Every structure is written in C-alpha cells, then in structure tokens.
Amino acid sequence: MAVGSGIAHYNGEPIIEGTGIGLLVGVSPMLALGGLYSLIMWWQPDLPRCRCGKTKYGEYQYVGQMSEPFTEETWFENRCPKCGRRYKSKSGVFNEVLPDGTMVPYMETSRWGRWVVASEHHPPE
C-alpha cells in the first residue's frame, strides 16, 4: 500500500517530465537526420524498382558482390524475390542479368540522381 502510493507520487514529480523533454531534445536531431536520410533514399534509392514492379529497394535478396579485375569497381548482385530476375549494379548503373549470364542495361541514374530507364540504343559512333 505504502509502496504503491510512493510510485504514483514519484511518477508525478516534475523532474521526470524534465528528463523526458531533455531526452526528446537530445533525440530530435537524430530524428531529423533520420528523416533527411529517408527523404534522400526516397529521392535516390540505391536500387530502382524491379521490372516486375513488385520489388523496390530494401526488398531484394542480396546475392553477393564482385570486383572487376581492371577497374576495381564493385558490382553488387541482387535477386528479385518475386519474379527471380537478377540484377548487377554499381554506382549509377543497374543491369539485368539474363539466364545465360549476359548483362542488359536496365536503369541508370540521371544527372539529378534519379533512376531512369537506360538508353538501349546509343547513337552510332
């Protein structure tokens, strides 16, 4: 009985509210950063939507990575869990990997950093 009323009284103390506000002030910059980060990820996700339209960034199955022997650029391979298409990507390029292993350009980043469908026909040299 005495213990119960003691806790109720303790919870009503202003010092607890002060701690709560202090915590909120301390956390809000992190929340702001988190919001900014999610805004950037929304604007420029690491991976574009799959050809099947059902899978977006964060839902791909990570297959693995490999680095090119000459350029030392790293390709990341991901697989769509919905349709099974495989993709290899590096910064600004997102290629579909056909069953026979050939890569077909699918998406690339525009100069604004958004994913656009890769131009399949480059002008003849």
DSSP designation for 12 = T
Q: Among 19, 33, 37, 82, which residue sits at the site for Zn ion (rule: CB under 5 A)?
A: 82
State yes or no: residue 83 binds Zn ion (CB under 5 A). Answer: yes
CB of 64 vs Zn ion, minimal distance in Å? 18
77 - beta bridge partners? 64, 88
Closest approach, Cβ 35 to Zn ion, in A, equals 29
Contact 56, 44 (CB under 8 A): no
Residues 86, 77: contact at Cβ < 8 Å?
A: yes
Nearer to Zn ion, 82 or 114 (CB): 82
Confirm or reject binding of residue 50 to Zn ion (CB under 5 A): yes
Q: What are phi and psi of 82, to 5 degrees?
A: -90, -45
Residue count, binding to Zn ion (CB under 5 A): 7
**Residue 17, helix vs strand vs coil:** helix
Output the smallest distance, CB 58 to Zn ion, in A.
14
Binding site for Zn ion (CB under 5 A): 50, 52, 55, 80, 82-83, 85
